[in-house]
Structures are given as C-alpha cells and as structure tokens.
Chains A and B, each alone.
Chain A
C-alpha cells in the first residue's frame, strides 16, 4: 500500500528529532523509496543498530505498508 514520503519523514523525525532526512521516491509509485538519515543518535552504533533505530521509528510499517526503503544512515560531521 502506498505511503507518502512526508509521513515517512515525520515518523523518523518523531523518533530522532535531530535527524536530517532526505527521501527520494524511486519509482514514483509511493512504494519504493530511498532515504538518507543523518543523526547524532547513530554515533557509536553499528550499521545494523543504526538501521534498526530507523525501522523502529517507522513502527512496523517497514516490510509491511512500506515495501522498499533503501536506507543510508550517516553520522553528522561536527
């Protein structure tokens, strides 16, 4: 089921208030997105843990409503 990019961004921001979120709708179908999330919350965490934080923010929508979200997580450079 399609999901709007703005909702994805809002959910991520809710969990990671400092996050800079960039979202691209890859196929224009509201179902295949690429997101780049930059947050200080990722510091000291493994890639798996960083992605888990984002998935947790999406509250179970990932893998369900949201089929495809290619995710890149970055730590802000001070």
Chain B
C-alpha cells in the first residue's frame, strides 16, 4: 500500500497538521462547490486548517483518492484520520458530531451555534 511515493507526502502533511483539507482551489478561492462547502463549515466553526490544492499536483490528485479509497475531492482529515467528503462533513456539522470529534481530538473550535 505504501509503494506509492505520494503516500509519504500525504502522511507528512497529515502528521504536521491537525486538520487538513484536500480540496480543489484554495480556502480563499475554492474552485468547486463541494470544496467551498467544507471550507464554509470549517470557517463557521473557527477551525484552523491547512488547505491543499490538489489541482496543482496531478499525482496528489490521484494519490489522495487511492490513499483514502475515496473517489472524490474534497477530503477532510483530522489528526491523520479521514473524516469524510462534503456530504459527511456537512451532516456531521449539523448533528454536532464534527464539533465533538474536533474537541475530542484537541482541536480548538469556536462553536458559535
């Protein structure tokens, strides 16, 4: 599984950052509605995250899909664990599960709700 050199790059990012979002575009200028939706959820919660634009790197774009066995972007990771894509993140934010997960992972959030 770790034959893919991109996986080492992904694991490095995940080990250095508590919250990582692999996305299309940047957090300031998302280039896909689904990526924008996740940025918005994280913004609402006041969560600091590292956004990685997979459009800049074709190997990473495919590599991250293989890494998580997940066919689409965006992909949210907390403490190295894959949390989900847009649908799951939105669902979890609505139910409060995401807030709980972040708190339990020691990630600071400003829950305005």
Instruction: Judge: A and B partners, yes or no.
Output: yes
* Contact residues of B between 77 and 94, Cβ < 8 Å to A: 82-88, 91-92
Interface size class of A (residues with CB under 8 A): 10 to 19
Contact A62 B87, CB 8 Å, known A48-B82, A68-B34: no
Hey, which chain B residues are within 8 Å of A62, CB to CB?
71-72
The count of chain B contact residues (Cβ–Cβ below 8 Å) is 15
Interface residue B69 (Cβ < 8 Å from any Cβ of A): yes
Hey, which chain B residues are within 8 Å of A52, CB to CB?
69-70
Residues of B at the A interface (CB closer than 8 Å) are: 34, 65, 69-72, 82-88, 91-92
Residues of A at the B interface (CB closer than 8 Å) are: 47-48, 51-52, 55, 60, 62-64, 68, 70-72
